[in-house]
Amino acid sequence: MPEDNNSRPVISNQTGLHDQLETVVRRHCTSPFQKPLADFNVAAFVEADQRLQQHGGPLILDSCCGVGASTRLLARRFPQHLVIGVDRSEHRLQRQWGELPDNALLVRADLVDFWRLARQAGWRPDYHFLLYPNPYPKKKDLKLRWHGHPVFPDLLALGGVLECRSNWKLYVGEMQQALKFLGVAADLNPVEMGDEPLTPFELKYARSGHQLWQLKAQLQH
């Protein structure tokens, strides 16, 4: 785990919920995302899907898993589940962060394609974690945040308990409001730190004195 305790808080030129949030979210729900799928993402998903079928048990998705520390920890906490961590960075996934449990899999893929493929394949995760995703704090970058991205409806269609954590309250607050627009209630509370942080970022931000926030919502398939 990193020792850095000087992480800067998120700085943004946006002080409240984005004024285009509802318009963007509703438009994405009525206009299916049509971007072509990349071949390497399809190949990565096929491998993951085969592993899931072989496992035959329940699934946990750990999206934006970074170095996979959270994937390893979740696999230990949920030994009956297959925990699939997905990140687009090969460099991060290849970093040595402890032994990978037998019920864990790390996949290099872009989630913009991976979530759509998972939806098409009928995946039904029990839990879906989004731990400290890039918040894209500039106001102009709303559509790069997951709740403002065209793939957001595909994320929601997977169902399960969605848990998103961030050190920027506005990020999870916007996600809570985006879900509310779509009839989904979400709880937003401070993170209660346990004995073992879920990710290196969680530890880094906590050591830097940041308030950490957790959104949880039960999604329908």
Cβ atoms within 10 Å of 90's Cβ, excluding its own: 8
DSSP secondary structure, the chain, as one string: ------PPPP--S--SS-TTHHHHHHHHHHS---PPPPHHHHHHHHHHHHHHHHH-S-EEEEET-TTSHHHHHHHHH-TTSEEEEEES-HHHHTS--SPPPTTEEEEE--HHHHHHHHHHTT---SEEEEES-----SGGGGGGSGGGSTTHHHHHHT-EEEEEEES-HHHHHHHHHHHHHTT--EEEEE----SS-SSHHHHHHHHTT---EEEEEEE--
Structural domain contains residue 215? yes
Dump the DSSP string for 90-120: HHHHTS--SPPPTTEEEEE--HHHHHHHHHH
Q: What is the pTM of this model?
A: 0.95
**The pair of three-digit structure tokens given for residue 63, joined into one six-digit string:** 């999206």
Each residue's pLDDT tens digit, 159-210: 999 999 999 999 999 999 999 999 999 999 999 887 789 999 999 999 999 9
Residue 188 β-bridge partners = 215
Domains: count for the chain = 1
Range of the domain at 215: 56-219
Per-residue pLDDT of 60-72, as tens digits, reads 999 999 999 999 9
- Domain CATH number, residue 199: 3.40.50.150
Is the residue at 95 inside a domain? yes
Q: Is residue 171 part of a domain?
A: yes
Q: Is 113 inside any structural domain?
A: yes
Task: Work out the number of other CB atoms within 10 angstroms of the CB of residue 107.
Answer: 22
Backbone dihedral region of 35: left (phi > 0), alpha (psi from -120 to 50 degrees) or beta? beta
Spell out the per-residue pLDDT of the chain, length 221, in tens.
444 567 999 999 999 999 999 999 999 999 989 999 999 999 999 999 999 999 999 999 999 999 999 999 999 999 999 999 999 999 999 987 788 999 999 999 999 999 999 999 999 999 999 999 999 999 999 999 999 999 999 999 999 999 999 999 999 999 999 999 999 999 999 998 877 899 999 999 999 999 999 999 999 87
